[in-house]
Chain A
Amino acid sequence: MRRLDRFKETPSQTAGPYLHIGCLPSKVGINSPMEMNLGNVLASENAKGQKITVGGKVFDGKNSPIKDGMVEIWQADADGIYKSNHSKSYQSDPNFNGWGRSCCDFETGLWEFKTIKPGPIMLENGQFMAPHISFWFVARGVNLGLNTRMYFSDEEFLNKSDPVLKKIKRKTKIKTLMGIEITPNYYEFNIYLQGSSETIFFEI
């Protein structure tokens, strides 16, 4: 039974245009405190799996790339294991950190991650989720962080049976969740906040 005396979540507020100061201070020339910047490299040299770069832009309703936002990702390793104490029975790749952060470039809006292609993820009932990367986006004008997922367009077979993709009724929208390999090992994933190509966001 649900507890009736639950606390209520702290409400969200926009990250505003100056999020770099707190989240990636070196990006705005603040180098002395917080020397350990949390960054966009998830895989070290010896990480298992296919090394890939995932990059893209986030477009606003005027089709302009957003230049003051921030993207964070979370994903499983090459065997589909999350680096998390939730999976006590499995050890995730010690050379792979499943989380990363990248700010949109001030000139172009491009964000990028150096990572590996995650494996399919087994659920307890034996079903598999297709390889995917979870995304979270905040910026000025975004009141509550936006969640979406990037799947891999070259995983057609697994994508077809993915329990999340299967729930999407407007099948034509599924392509908004597909990262596309535009050059070898570089997957492009553009996010559209509005308009006819608006990305599917999830209420997670």
Chain B
Amino acid sequence: MGEKGSILQGLIYPRDKNRHPKALTPNYKSTLYRSPQMPPLPLESTISEVTGPVFGHNTIGEFDSDLTRNFSTGNEMAIGERIIVHGKVFDENANLMPNVLIEVWQANAGGRYRHFNDNYKVPLDPNFGGCGRCITDKNGCYSFYTIRPGAYPWPNGGNDWRPSHIHFSIFGRSFAQRLVTQMYFEGDPLINLCPIAQTIKDPKGLESLIANLDMGNTIHMDARAYSFNIVLRGKDSTIFENKLNGN
């Protein structure tokens, strides 16, 4: 590949369909009217998919990664079990990924979101907003302080409860790497009962969404640690753009 006009650095590996939930998963009722009925059209990545937005560390405010304090008034802190969630972001080729922007949102310790559409009877915590952001450092590591979110019931039919979870939104370097997912907690019996967690049919895939209790990184007399590593799609550096129109 020449230097001039060197706009592609290789194509993104195709997504492993068995790794992700199908679009239509009837036990999760909201998918019934929101899942496309035609299969998506495979598109070998062009520069439009290989490139993507890059966010700098200046995107992040001082307290963005401390959910126990970033919504508090004065010196108050959020109520709940203090935890640190940390991990590394890799691509599929096992490269660590620096400068990955991660956004998180979650319910409070009782299982209630600060959102006007959530009217679960649990009270709001005046010192908890439920949102945070961080960016991976040069070694691909991220971490944030928060409280363990509570489980909550949701209208899906039956007696459905969401396991404790934190929502993650992740930006790699390519638009094709964009990912939204949820992190669960080791040992939670609700995971195996949850219609959303169970949209993932590959047991190893679901397991990879469950954060492990990590006593080695506990902060003394402060917070337990949970570790959660993330893998974004990787690039196949052996295939180049001339394949784009070659088939």
Contacts and interface: CB of A to CB of B under 8 A. Distances in A.
B71 to A, nearest CB: 6
A202 B199 contact: no
A125 B34 contact: no
In this complex, the interface size class of chain A, counting residues with CB under 8 Å from chain B, is 35 or more
B105 A11 contact: no
A7 B132 contact: no
Interface string A16-36: 111111110100111011111
- The B interface, classified by DSSP as helix, strand, loop or mixed, is loop
B8 interface: yes
Contacts of B14: 203
A127 interface: yes
A5 to B, nearest CB: 7
Contacts of B25: 143
Given A88-B6, A139-B34, A72 B178 contact: yes
B160 interface: no
A154 interface: no
B48 interface: yes
A151 B47 CA distance: 16
A62 B30 CA distance: 12
A86 interface: yes
Nearest first, the 7 closest Cβ-Cβ pairs linking A and B are: A22-B105, A141-B30, A141-B34, A99-B53, A33-B70, A61-B33, A84-B51
B178 A141 contact: no
Contacts of B227: none
Given A12-B21, A204-B49, 12 more contacts: A13-B182, A13-B196, A15-B180, A17-B117, A21-B130, A22-B130, A68-B117, A123-B244, A123-B245, A136-B178, A198-B36, A203-B41
A204 B131 CA distance: 29
A10 B230 contact: yes
25 contacts: A7-B231, A10-B181, A12-B21, A13-B167, A14-B28, A14-B199, A17-B115, A22-B103, A28-B114, A29-B114, A30-B114, A30-B130, A33-B71, A61-B32, A74-B53, A85-B54, A86-B51, A122-B5, A125-B244, A136-B178, A141-B30, A141-B32, A163-B244, A203-B14, A204-B43
Contacts of A202: 40-43
A193 B36 contact: yes
Contacts of B221: none
Contact of B51 (A29, A82, A149, A200): A82
Contacts of B5: 89, 122, 124
B147 interface: no
B34 A140 contact: yes
A66 B31 CA distance: 12
Contacts of B170: 10
Interface of B: 1-9, 12-16, 19-23, 25, 28-43, 45-54, 59, 61, 63-64, 70-71, 90-94, 103-105, 113-118, 129-133, 167, 169-170, 175-176, 178-182, 196-197, 199-200, 202, 204-206, 208-209, 230-234, 236, 238, 241-242, 244-245
A124 B208 contact: no
A178 to B, nearest CB: 16
A2 B236 contact: yes
A30 B131 contact: yes
Contacts of B116: 28-29
A34 B63 CA distance: 8
B19 A11 contact: yes
Contact of A86 (B50, B53, B90): B50
A158 interface: no
A68 B39 CA distance: 24
A203 B15 contact: yes
B37 A194 contact: yes
Taking each of A11, A15, A17, A97, which has the highest tally of chain B beta carbons within 10 Å of its own beta carbon?
Answer: A11
Contact of A201 (B2, B41, B91, B132): B41
A177 B19 CA distance: 28
Contacts of A10: 170, 179, 181, 208-209, 230-232
